């Protein structure tokens, strides 16, 4: 009878480990494309070469059709610096003498005291701000051609999923490549990709440890008035 609680405890521990370390997920937005089927025409005209069912013997291995793979070299580096400063000073002074009422000075009505009114104000503001940002991304990722545009450019997309001990990492990429920018080894630099979308993120215990909680995000957001 004492073995049942032990079995349940082991089952719960195994279930918790599965929840904390889920397998990598597929993103449909970066799914690879299926190559087009080269089906011969139904009406055979008797010719040796049929349209839509070709096989090129004299060409290199560069990507050019839907479903072909292409290796992208990630060579991204960005640096940004911004400085701002504001200084404002303002001083104001105002004084009003006691008026004369029907030829009699107001001071006589107050026992010789001159009820003079004065107002002074001053304000100063000095603000400074600076921001520095640097990012770098390197590595390789192989994607597939999902569409051949009318001008011959290739629309590519793909992702790389890495399952680690304490979580998963994802590298996602999409964009448009010119065939002339593809090297003879069927690779291209990421700086040559137009309309590029590059995503590097992760999930799991490490990613959760680097993410602020919802209450802390509220205190650091513009919604918090203080």
Domain residue ranges in the chain: 21-35+56-81+135-219, 83-130
**Terminus-to-terminus CA distance in the chain, angstroms?**
59
Q: In this predicted structure, what is the pLDDT of residue 180?
A: 94
Calculate mean pLDDT across residues 107-115: 58
Kindly report which listed range (113-117, 144-148, 192-196) carries the lowest average pLDDT score.
Answer: 113-117
Mean pLDDT taken over the chain: 76
Model confidence at 161: pLDDT above 50:
yes
Q: What b/e readout covers 183-209, taking b as 16+ CB neighbours within 10 angstroms?
A: eeebebebebbeebebeeebbbeeeee
Model confidence at 18: pLDDT above 50:
no
If one counts every other C-beta atom within 10 angstroms of the C-beta of residue 63, the result is 22
Query: SS3 breakdown of the chain: % helix, strand, coil, rounded to 5?
Result: 20, 45, 35
Model confidence at 45: pLDDT above 90:
no
Q: In this predicted structure, what is the pLDDT of residue 41?
A: 55
* CA distance to 61, 68, 107, 113, per residue, from 97 (Å): 95, 90, 10, 12
Model confidence at 38: pLDDT above 80:
no
- pLDDT tier at 17, thresholds 50, 70, 90: very low
**Strands lying side by side in the sheet with 167-177:** 187-189, 69-96, 117-148, 154-164, 167-177, 194-204
Q: In this predicted structure, what is the pLDDT of residue 105?
A: 62
CB-based contacts of 135, cutoff 8 Å, min separation 6: 76, 77, 78, 79
Model confidence at 64: pLDDT above 60:
yes
Calculate mean pLDDT across residues 10-31: 64
* Each residue's pLDDT tens digit, 120-142: 777 787 777 787 878 888 889 99
Which of the 8 DSSP states describes residue 110? T
The answer to whether the CB of 173 falls within 8 A of the CB of 158 is yes
For residues 190 and 171, what is the distance between their CA atoms, to the nearest angstrom? 13
The answer to whether the CB of 65 falls within 8 A of the CB of 154 is no
Model confidence at 221: pLDDT above 70:
no
């Amino acid at each position: 009878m004492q073995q049942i609680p032990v079995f349940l405890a082991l089952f719960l521990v195994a279930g918790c480990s599965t929840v904390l370390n889920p397998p990598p997920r597929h993103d449909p937005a970066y799914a690879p494309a299926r190559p087009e089927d080269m089906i011969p025409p139904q009406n055979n005209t008797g010719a040796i070469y049929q349209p839509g069912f070709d096989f090129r013997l004299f060409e290199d291995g560069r990507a050019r059709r839907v479903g072909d793979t292409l290796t992208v070299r990630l060579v991204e580096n960005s640096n940004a610096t911004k400085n701002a400063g504001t200084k404002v000073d303002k001083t104001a002074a105002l004084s009003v003498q006691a008026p004369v009422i029907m030829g009699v000075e107001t001071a006589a009505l107050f026992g010789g005291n001159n009820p003079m009114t004065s107002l002074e104000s001053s304000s100063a503001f000095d603000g400074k701000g600076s921001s520095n940002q640097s990012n770098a991304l390197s590595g390789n990722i192989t994607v597939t051609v999902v569409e051949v545009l009318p001008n011959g450019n290739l629309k590519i997309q793909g992702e790389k999923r890495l399952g680690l001990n304490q979580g998963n990492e994802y590298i996602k990429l999409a964009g448009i490549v010119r065939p002339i920018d593809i090297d003879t080894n069927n690779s291209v630099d990421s700086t040559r990709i137009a309309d590029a979308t590059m995503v590097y993120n992760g999930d799991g215990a490490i990613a959760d440890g680097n993410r602020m909680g919802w209450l802390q995000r509220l205190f650091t957001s513009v919604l918090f008035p203080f």
